[in-house]
Amino acid sequence: MSGNRQIVVTGIGVVTACGGDRETFWQSLTSGTTGIAPIDPPQPLISFPNVAACSDFDPEARFDVRMHRKLDRSAQFGLAAADEAIAHSGIEWDDNLRGRTGVIAGCSIGGSHTQDLCYERLYKLNKVRSEPMAVPNIMPSASTSQISMKYGFRGPSFTMTTACASSGHALGMALWMLRTGQLDVAVSGGHEAMLNLGSLLAWDGLRVVSSSVCKPFADKRPGMVLGEGGAMLVLETLESARARGATIYAELAGFGMNADAHHLTAPSLEGPTGAIQAALADAGLAPTDIEYINAHGTGTSGNDMNEIAAIKSAFGDHAHKLAISSTKSMHGHTIGAAGGIEAAATVLALHHGILPPTINSSPLDPACDLDVIPDVARKQDISAALSNSFAFGGLNAVLAFKKA
């Protein structure tokens, strides 16, 4: 990709079931604390017992009354994560910089809570008029618009919708736009909230959701656990971060993406392998430079085995020297927010020199015979890492990060 500006992370904001802010999230990951819990209130129509809900998230404490009432939960997560990331970055915006700042987010489903309420009003309560804000709340780009309006950011801003790779693609697009000078600062990541009855029933129909907890790479793993949340990173040039004396958490060094062109739900080996290779090439990294991978690691039989095979294909003998973990074992699969949340985990791992574990991974599937950091976090200084996002429909996004 043309453009030679180095792009770094100077702000991080997170809302997950493992914690409603960056620090609590990181403490949960490094202590192996799960956010997965029984569905509350119980849903007798749903066959699976657990989700990873942001039960401690209080919109009334985050926003004024007018704001929290007009925003769907999905957009609330995006805005709350952006608020934390922007404050964390310490950037002081002037009018010129606001015109050079963009918001690039990922969201797969959009305002599904609002959509559920609309259907309930229509089909159960026989009300033919929806709430006036229904459409603006349902659109996946609602959070992008709210962030840009709140902070006056007038640069190119948009939302990516590519299923589970949505925020991975968003961060990659932000990187390339910053590199080539289309933006000077980007607020980028993702958000998702779909733990409502309609969405849960839809996922139930796929028969991929766990009957217990999430056990990535484990033998006889029962499937994925649905989660919700959001994460946003503030990205800027290395030059500008150094000039203002900012804390630099990591460099976003490369991005690779492609399509399997294979199947709507079943993964291929060639697609993920190629996306990993493209990310390495874009970052100017050799396979042997990578020491850690935050895996897509959904806990489903097909995905985990295929991802391990793709890592072996891309890295060869070096695959057995890699440390790999799936933090979905703790915060669940947050669909459109997954790439953003897992990018935040990867950045924090680089910055702190601690690699989060894959909990519930023992006993290991013999087909997943790489180092998946079972159960306990590992102190290890690393210099380069990948974050994988592999979506339904074969849409793949891989981010490469380097230690700052």
- For the annotated catalytic residues, the residue numbers are 164, 296, 333
CB 305 within 8 A of CB 150: no
Identify whether the C-beta of residue 36 lies closer than 8 Å to the C-beta of residue 332: yes
Which backbone phi and psi does 47 adopt, to 5 degrees? -85, -15
Q: What pairing do the DSSP bridges indicate for beta strands 229-237 and 250-259?
A: unpaired
What type of residue is 157? S
Nearest to 388 by CA among 302, 316, 298, 318: 298
Give the separation between CA 375 and CA 357, rounded to whole angstroms. 5
Query: Is there a contact between 252 and 351 (Cβ–Cβ < 8 Å)?
Result: no
Treating both helix axes as pointing N-terminal to C-terminal, what angle do 73-89 and 112-119 enclose, rounded to 10 degrees?
Answer: 160
Torsion angle of alpha carbons 320, 323, 324, 330, nearest 10°? 150
Task: Round to whole Å and give the CA distance between 327 and 50.
Answer: 16
CA distance 201 to 188: 30
Provide the 10 A C-beta neighbour count for residue 80: 27
91 contacts: CB under 8 Å, gap ≥ 6: 10, 11, 97, 185, 234, 236, 244, 246
* 296: alpha, beta or left? (left if phi > 0; alpha if psi -120 to 50): alpha
